[in-house]
Structure 1
């Protein structure tokens, strides 16, 4: 993956992790207290993502160690999958097989080297798109821009798999 794409994906994950940390603090902190909890910085996350020594994907929970930042990253990715389930993405998509729309792993494969992948996919989710993966259009989805970016980060974090060749 190109450095720019890796940076964008990590930035999205870090942003999401920060938002989750803030949510956790507000839910557990006593009223009037000002507690702060450290959030994993990009060096920690990229180090976790490179556990294979070759710059592996940040979304590969199986390659993550046992550091606290790694556990939080797994929680963030689990939260993003829950958002995909809640928004009904799995009605038309699956992680590794085609339903009505392409498999998320195929999308990750197609956009793995595209520096504009996050913006392109976020736009497609928010506004709808047709003709990219065949004749079946994807309608615009009802979600916030932050949710759309979280979903895009999760989709791009899938293990990229080339779609089968059409006959």
Structure 2
């Protein structure tokens, strides 16, 4: 199932998606991400809602953004660099991204 594009989920799929998003939210809360990001307001980095509006929730973007979380970087949202998180697993980073992208209105 492609969480980002399948809008015809049944009750079971909706529960699994909500659970995935909740796991991503918990992973963010346990990390240092909230020192620079908030859900709706720009701090040092963009608000998660801004990221969700910029990127469609598809496998390519989930992989790309998970890589940015792990590797860090700058230039997309300004010159302030995002710290790398090399100890974060690819799977955990993807869960975090799925949560962030779920904030799209």
Q: Same fold (TM over 0.5)?
A: yes
User: Contact conserved, 2:21 with 2:99, CA < 8 A, in 1?
Assistant: yes
Secondary structure, counterpart of 1:151 in structure 2: helix
Give CA-to-partner distance per residue, 1:80-124, whole Å, 9 cap, x none: 101110112211111111011100111111112877312221111
For the structure 1 residues 113 and 47, does the alpha-carbon distance in structure 2 shift closer, same or farther, using more than 3 Å as the test?
closer
| Residues in 1 aligned to 2:49 and 2:43: alpha-carbon distance in whole angstroms | 13
Length, aligned pairs only? 104
**Structure 2 unmatched ranges of 5 or more:** none
**Structure 1 unmatched ranges of 5 or more:** 1-5, 11-44, 50-66, 161-167
Select 2:96's aligned residue among 151, 154, 165.
Answer: 151
| Residues in 2 aligned to 1:75 and 1:95: alpha-carbon distance in whole angstroms | 18
Aligned position for 2:84: 140
Secondary structure, counterpart of 1:47 in structure 2: coil
Which of structures 1 and 2 has the larger relative contact order (alpha carbons within 8 angstroms, sep 6+)? 2
Q: Aligned-pair distance for 1:135?
A: 1.5
Secondary structure, counterpart of 2:4 in structure 1: helix
Please report the RMSD computed on the Cα atoms of aligned residues, expressed in angstroms. 2.6
Aligned position for 1:104: 48
**Structure 2 residue 67 is the aligned partner of structure 1 residue 123:** yes
Q: Aligned-pair distance for 1:78?
A: 1.5
| Residues in 1 aligned to 2:59 and 2:74: alpha-carbon distance in whole angstroms | 21
Moved over 6 A (4+): none
